[in-house]
Structure formats: C-alpha cells, structure tokens
Structure 1
Amino acid sequence: MLSGKNIVITGAASGIGRELVILLHSKNNVIAVDMDGDRLGMLKGELPSIEVFQIDLLFPDAVEKVFEKVYKKWETIDYFFANAGFAKYDSWSNLDQQAFETIFRINAWVPFRTAQILKKSQIKPFRLVVTASAMAFWTVPGYSVYSASKAAIHQLAESIRTEEYSNWLTLVYPASTTTAFFSKAGKNVPQAFPVQQAENVAKAIIKGAIKGKKRVYPSFIFRSVLLINRLLPIIRPLYQFLENRKFQKWMGYTYK
C-alpha cells in the first residue's frame, strides 16, 4: 500500500473515488475533489485528516484551479487519480448538444488537461491514473456517447505513449460497478454485466498504480472475455444483443 505520498483524487465523494480516499487517507496526504459539497463534508467528517476541495469540473479553468489549490499546499504530487466521470443513459438520437459536450468534457478533456498540466508543472516523478471504462472497448446500448468519450481518452493515452517513452500514465477499465453512477445516468437504468464492488475496483486501481501498469482491468471476467473474443468474435455481438434487450425494455418503460 502507498505511504507518505501526496495524492489527489477527483470524483472523490462517492463510488470508486470515495473508496480510494478511504483506502489511502491513513498513510498519505490526500486532497479529495468533487462537485458535491454535502458529500465532501460528510467524507471530511468521517476522515478528518483529508483536505477537500469543492469544484465543478465543467467550469472553465476548473482543472487549473484544482492545481492552484494543490500546489499552494504541496510542492509536488505523487499520484493523481482522475476519477471524475459522467454518463447519460438514453438512445443516441435523444441526446442533445449539452449532454454530449458535458460527457466529453468530463470524461475526455478534463483528464487530458490534467495530463498536460502535470507534465509541465511536476519537478519530481508522478503517476496519473485515469478511470476509463470497459466500454472503451465494448460499447453498451444506451451509452453511445459515454462509450465514445471513454474510447477517446483511451486513444489519447495510446497516442501520448507513442510520443514519449516515460511511464507515468495508467488507464483503468472497470466494468459495471455498484455505485450511484447508474442512478445519475438515468431513471431505473439497468446495470450491464459483470458487476463489481467499488471497494474491489479501488483496490485493483491502487495495486496497478503501485506496479506502474499502463492498463488496469479490475474485472477478471471482462479481461478474460476480451481476450477470448479475439478467438471467438461471436461473444461481443451476443453480449451486446443481450444488453440491447435490456435497453429496449428500458426505452419502452421510460417513453411509453
């Protein structure tokens, strides 16, 4: 486990981010960043040693403001967990420009801008850990734009690695996780299989970050099926067919 490190965690008030804070706070210096002030206050009450910073990352220059806050306190950052994310579950034909831009800004631009600032400002080695998604590889019906945004940050990371040989960037590809994510994505949203516990995902993220892995797959099931599908390419379309049945049922329930 990490010890004595300066750690920033975004999306820290709930879900995977909250579990990361819980697992890391006792032996490290942690700044928890989230837009939900109430949840941040509750987290601070439970874990008095952490620092909290409330900010909506959709605001212009929000990423810069996070770094201003951090560098006023610390000279350097050891680990930055860019975990904040946003999704909307619906037919692609129903999504408007605002929803599209919000999803891409939080899921792709914010971690990309975080990477830029870290590279330019850090005077010591660091690791940026970005929460992507299994949907970067396998899109799920109802998550068209979310899947596209996660595929975008995946390809951005791959592109960064082609331009330089230093190893400082880790991407994480969780499957469905038991968090408030799905309730925020829409009403009565069905969870895609397989489903993981947020604590287990957080443990896998930390383990992968410590080892300096470029890619972390918290779900053994998804990782295995991803590999098997290369030999038996019928698995992905079958999976998407089954998920589409859930989606069509949800559409009929929601829009009837």
Structure 2
Amino acid sequence: MNLVNKVIVITGGTSGIGRQIVEQLQAQNTIIVVARNSDRLEQLNMRYKNVTCFPADLSDPGSYKPLSERIQAEFPRVDVLINNAAIQNEPFFTDPDFEYEKITREINVNFTAVCALSYLLIPALNSNEAQSIILNINSGLSFVAKKSASVYCASKAAINLFSQSLSYQLENTNIKVLQAFIPLVDTPMTQGRGENKMSAECAAKSILKGLKQQNPQNDIGKIKVLRILNALTPSLAKRLLKGS
C-alpha cells in the first residue's frame, strides 16, 4: 500500500510508538488520532494541520459506538485502522497492591476496543473499491508469556487469534487484516524495565514498512529470533521470557 493521501485512524497516537507513527505519516496523509489525554491531543492538533483528534477512553466500552459514529460522520472513508493503544499492569495477582478493578480496564483497552473498532469502522473501511487495512499492533508476549503482566499477555494472545479469524471473515472484501509483532520498545509503558530496547522511532518505521508491504505477520527485531526459538526449543523460549 502506498501511504500517500490515505485516511488513517490510530489509537494511542499521543505517545510512544503511536506518536512516532503519527509523525512519520502526517505530512502526506490525513491522520485521525484517538486517545484519552486531551492535553496531548490538543498539542497534536496545534502542531500538525493534517491531524484530527478524537478524545476517548478506550477502557469504557460505552465510548466505542459514539466514537466510531463521530469519526465516520467526518470521515466516511477510512483507508487504514491501526489498533495501537495498550496498557500493561505489572503487579502479580498475589501482590498486596494488586488492583482487581484494573483487570477489566486492561482487557478493554488491549482487546475489547480492538474488536469493537474493527467492527464499527467496517463501513468506512469498505466504502470504496481500494484496498483498506486493519493493522493490529501485537507483541512477542502473544505467543511466549512472561511471569508478570498476565492480563497483558492474555490480551495479546487473544488479538493474535482474533486477527487471524477476522482475516478469514474478510477474505471476500477489500479489507486486509495485518499484525505487527514488536519487541521491547522504549516507551512510557516500558519505563524502568528491561534493557537494550528498540527505539519507538525505529519500531514505527518497521511497522510502517510491513504495512506498506501488507505483511500479514510482521515480526520486528528480536521477535524473528524469538519465533524461531519458540518453534525449535519452546522450553528455552519460555525460560528466557519468564522473567523479562
């Protein structure tokens, strides 16, 4: 896909990888950013003329339908939907400070919103004969879990199978479903953990390269090695990721 003069919706586009994707695409495309932080959205609006912002709390399922209706009222055609927004809670279920209420919020942001927006924006994605794309940003933790962040791991695993199934359902439409599997990236979400992280700028470039090539499974950086290792010696892959 030639990423020029496209209408692109991206969730979680105000920081980290999402912000880098916005910056790399905004000059030649119309970018619709969905995020919760109104101050950051306002900054994007002021900085980039081709960026339109829609505030929404994706942890609230009640926000999905009104959000999609607002987007499609202003943009009847959408060429690309990038489901990028995600949160990751680290405490173990056995920790005294574990907050039970965060389970539903994490699942909603990481998975429910992906399903809902993919469905609700189908009319706009299918509005013309040109190719359109749903791109779900995923993680190596979707197929090899770590000890912490169990809800995050589960939600990413769910996105993996959801993406595969949805691609089957949309085979006879103009919509393709792609995934980008990213390694540990230096973003606000990963602050204070891990070493040798990929930069958000580099991750965004690799994600967009896979999008242009319409790669159904874009393994980025160390994910290529992890997938091979998991196929050949899954027990070793599990040991390596367990405490990451």
SS in 1 for 2:9: strand
Match of 1:129 in 2: 135
Say whether the 8 Å CA contact 2:142–2:160 is kept in structure 1. yes
Match of 2:10 in 1: 9
* TM-score under structure 2 length normalisation: 0.88
Q: Of 104, 108, 133, which aligns to 1:105?
A: 108
Say whether the 8 Å CA contact 2:29–2:50 is kept in structure 1. no
- Separation in structure 2 between the aligned mates of residue 54 and residue 84 of structure 1, nearest angstrom: 13
Bigger shift: residues 88-97 or 138-147: 88-97
Q: Of 171, 174, 177, which aligns to 1:169?
A: 177
Say whether the 8 Å CA contact 2:178–2:216 is kept in structure 1. yes
SS in 1 for 2:27: helix
Q: How many residues align?
A: 236
Say whether the 8 Å CA contact 1:132–1:153 is kept in structure 2. yes
**Offset at residue 42 of structure 1 (A):** 1.9
Letter in 2 for 1:110: A
- Separation in structure 2 between the aligned mates of residue 111 and residue 87 of structure 1, nearest angstrom: 15
**Offset at residue 233 of structure 1 (A):** 3.3
**What do you get for the CA RMSD once the two structures are aligned?**
2.0
Match of 1:249 in 2: none
SS in 2 for 1:204: helix
1:177-204 deviation per Cα after TM superposition (whole angstroms, max 9, x unaligned): 1110124xxxxx422x652111111111
Bigger shift: residues 9-18 or 195-204: 195-204
Which structure shows the higher strand fraction?
A: 2
- Separation in structure 1 between the aligned mates of residue 243 and residue 152 of structure 2, nearest angstrom: 19
Match of 2:149 in 1: 143
Q: Does residue 26 in structure 1 map to residue 34 in structure 2?
A: no
Match of 1:190 in 2: 193
SS in 2 for 1:141: coil
Match of 1:204 in 2: 206
Q: Of 185, 188, 192, which aligns to 1:180?
A: 188
State the identity %.
Answer: 23
Closer/same/farther in 2, CA of residues 225 and 57 from structure 1, 3 Å limit: closer
Which structure shows the higher helix fraction?
A: 1
Closer/same/farther in 2, CA of residues 54 and 118 from structure 1, 3 Å limit: closer
**Offset at residue 76 of structure 1 (A):** 0.8
**Offset at residue 47 of structure 1 (A):** 1.8
Letter in 2 for 1:149: S
Match of 1:56 in 2: 57
Bigger shift: residues 66-75 or 116-125: 116-125
